[in-house]
Amino acid sequence: MESVDDDPDVVERCPNSRYVRYNELLGRGAWKTVYKGFDEVEGIEVAWSQVMLDDTMQKPEYLERIYTEVRLLKTLKHENIIKSYVSWVDDKKKRVNMITELFISGDLRQYREKHRSVDLKAIKNWARQILQGLVYLHGHKPPIIHRDLKCNNIFVNGNHGQVKIGDLGFATLMLRPTAKSLIGTPEFMAPELYEEEYNELVDIYSFGMCILELITCEYPYSECRNPAHIYKKVMSGIKPAALSKVKDVQAKELIEKCLVPASQRLPAKELLKDPFLAPESVKDNPVEVDLSTYPMDIDDNYNMVLSGSSCVKSKTTSTCLPSLELQRVNERNDIRLKGEMNEDNTVTLTLRIADFSGGVRNIDFPFSLDDDTSNTIAQEMVEELDLLHEDVIIIAELIDDMIMKFVPTWKPSLRKKSIPVGGVSLTEGSLILQNSHIACRPTKVPEHEDPSFKGSDKSSLFTYLGDSMKSSEVFCYKKIASNDSVLCEDNGEKDAFDDLKKELDNIEAQYLCWYNELQKFREAAIEDAKRKWNLKNKGASLLSLVYTN
């Protein structure tokens, strides 16, 4: 939508006038042009991408790439994946518009060419972030394969070294054990891509080539004359000449791990554990930290006791209360939790999260031993600090470990009071925290006691597709009986049960929505397969006709 605007630099506005586009060109690709834009509500600069739907671009294969990026960007939320704000189709001008976050430092290739002298520590930091983005994409069910990962498609914020994977136009949901179709950039394409039988590990091969380019400042296979020459070397197993220029032994070993045949290639999650990428000090388990090793300024009215307790002194009284600090380090963050026991049966907790790019976030919060659970408090902390929802598990475990040290009788599980349903109780412990997911144990409800259970749909099974849960997590629950079949001991329990039923209904509605979205991907894949089959048959018919004549 064009706009008559007082600002001569503004050439276009979005339909609701929130975003404006300038004529400043940021980049141009084979099928997309990117301009600088501005969000007048948030006051931030954005990237405004446009795809012209001319006769060429309206071919099914091009439209598929465009709509794939639009659909995917709407559903993806991860700190190392480009964030999408809004997108729409301008039918009048025949173009698709996408508003995404802007990285003023450009892509990683431009950034590396501009800064020729970069310490290996910075490259390790970039590599970890790229892998974390791939872990998220590949962790979906089905996995999302980028298929065109290269430094040009990875964007960097030079202010604090954050990198994000973008340009998901070639990405695909791997709806079968292996995907088909030849697509990508020859220098970064795994051998199996040429054979059109591949899985998400093609992105690992490309990641290895990205690291090679970042270390050597040289495009892989730059010694080759043309794509055909590259293809011949790749299929023969000949590595890029630039690999011989990598002097760091661990860096070279990491790259070589990425370039091995697909059957030997490690997934992104495993590569994060590679020695080259390991932080200087990694601890797999929470450890108790001796506070005496952390010097600090001490107020005249306070003393620090080296035994792990804190003495708060006043002029009239002296009360000694225990104080502890626990730590856990994963591939993204160094998480520290400090706790201090209070006299009112609460614990004052201080959460400190430091990421490996240098950012630090702190938050204090009280924990009531009578009313709170580790999971609810952890969820509040994640929302407050805008962390990934998978961090809930880590923080909840730290809280449980902390409370158990203060109160040995504390039970670190999400246990609820038994609620009778259709003559059968949801027993204590039916809702528990297991490893890395929340699971609800199925509880049998006799059909003859609950008329709402009819037909074969007696349970609902949903797979978490969002970024807040890992791909292997499954939430399973039995449908709750109608209110008139619920036997409650008192009104309090009935209210509690009604709240539970309402929450489960909301969950079901949410996952049905995601299921419908997945159905759209399925239908698109089916149509694509039919189209290819028709084209193949038409080609065969033409050949038959030629030979007959």
The predicted model gives 423-444 an average pLDDT of 36
List active site positions. 167
Residue 57: predicted pLDDT:
56
The predicted model gives 439-456 an average pLDDT of 40
Which CATH code, of 3.30.1330.10, 3.20.20.70, 3.30.420.40, 3.30.200.20, is assigned to 10-101?
A: 3.30.200.20
The predicted model gives 114-143 an average pLDDT of 93
Higher pLDDT, 367 or 540: 367
Whether 192 and 198 have beta carbons less than 8 Å apart is answered as yes
SS (H, E, C) 164-219: EECCHHHCEECCCCCECCCCCCHHHCCHHHHCCCECCCHHHHHHHHHHHHHHHCCC
Indicate if the pLDDT at residue 287 is higher than 80. no
Highest mean pLDDT among 87-91, 269-273, 350-354, 525-529: 269-273
DSSP letter for 26, please.
E
Question: CB-hemisphere CA count at 13 Å for 407?
Answer: 19
Indicate if the pLDDT at residue 452 is higher than 60. no
The gap from C-alpha 18 to its chain's centroid, in whole angstroms, comes to 27
The predicted model gives 36-40 an average pLDDT of 95
Question: Residue 501 belongs to what H/E stretch?
Answer: helix 491-548
Q: How far is CA 263 from CA 68, 194, 211, in A?
A: 28, 16, 21
Highest mean pLDDT among 127-136, 179-188, 398-407: 127-136
Give me the chain's average pLDDT, please: 72
The predicted model gives 432-450 an average pLDDT of 38
- Percentage of the chain with pLDDT > 90? 27
Is this prediction's pTM over 0.75? no
The predicted model gives 91-119 an average pLDDT of 89
Whether 234 and 194 have beta carbons less than 8 Å apart is answered as yes
327 bridge partner residues:
287, 336
Query: Given pLDDT bands bounded at 50, 70 and 90, which one contains residue 442?
Result: very low
Indicate if the pLDDT at residue 286 is higher than 50. no
Q: CA nearest 147: which of 137, 139, 155?
A: 137
pLDDT digits (tens, 9 = 90+) for 462-478: 333 333 333 333 333 33
Distance CA 50, CA 12 (A): 12
Fold assignment, 110-277 = Transferase(Phosphotransferase); domain 1 (1.10.510)
Q: CA nearest 306: which of 315, 298, 314?
A: 298
Residue 159: predicted pLDDT:
84
Higher pLDDT, 295 or 190: 190
- Percentage of the chain with pLDDT > 70? 61
Helix 249-259 and helix 120-138, axial crossing angle in degrees, nearest 10: 30
Whether the upstream peptide bond of residue 142 has omega within 30° of 0, thus cis, is: yes
Indicate if the pLDDT at residue 62 is higher than 90. no
Indicate if the pLDDT at residue 522 is higher than 70. yes
Q: What's the token pair of residue 173?
A: 């949901």
Rounded to 5 degrees, what are φ and ψ at 271?
-65, -25
Distance CA 355, CA 160 (A): 11
Highest mean pLDDT among 27-36, 139-148, 182-191: 139-148
The predicted model gives 210-225 an average pLDDT of 94
Distance CA 480, CA 201 (A): 41
CATH class belonging to 287-406: alpha beta
SS (H, E, C) 419-450: EEECCEEECCCCEEEECCEEEECCCCCCHHHC
Whether 47 and 100 have beta carbons less than 8 Å apart is answered as yes
Every domain of the chain with CATH number 1.10.510.10 lies at: 110-277
Higher pLDDT, 360 or 79: 79
φ/ψ bin of 489: left (φ > 0), alpha (ψ from -120 to 50), beta (otherwise):
alpha
Residue 491: predicted pLDDT:
57
Q: CA nearest 136: which of 329, 267, 254, 273?
A: 267
pLDDT digits (tens, 9 = 90+) for 221-251: 999 988 888 888 998 899 999 999 999 999 9
Residue 459: predicted pLDDT:
33
Residue 503: predicted pLDDT:
72
The region of weakest confidence among 16-30, 239-253, 312-326 is: 312-326
Every domain of the chain with CATH number 3.10.20 lies at: 287-406
Every domain of the chain with CATH number 3.30.200.20 lies at: 10-101
Residues sharing a CB contact under 8 Å with residue 432, sequence separation 6 or more, in sequence order: 413, 414, 415, 438, 439, 441
Higher pLDDT, 58 or 507: 507
The gap from C-alpha 493 to its chain's centroid, in whole angstroms, comes to 38
φ/ψ bin of 146: left (φ > 0), alpha (ψ from -120 to 50), beta (otherwise):
alpha
E-strand stretches of 403-514: 419-421, 424-426, 431-434, 437-440, 459-463, 474-478
In single-letter form, the type of residue at position 56 comes to: T
The gap from C-alpha 29 to its chain's centroid, in whole angstroms, comes to 26
Indicate if the pLDDT at residue 488 is higher than 60. no
The region of weakest confidence among 6-20, 107-121, 141-155, 503-517 is: 503-517
Query: Given pLDDT bands bounded at 50, 70 and 90, which one contains residue 351?
Result: confident
Highest mean pLDDT among 32-41, 302-311, 402-411: 32-41
Q: CA nearest 513: which of 455, 459, 465?
A: 465
Residue whose entry in the numeric block shows the structure tokens 């099914």: 60
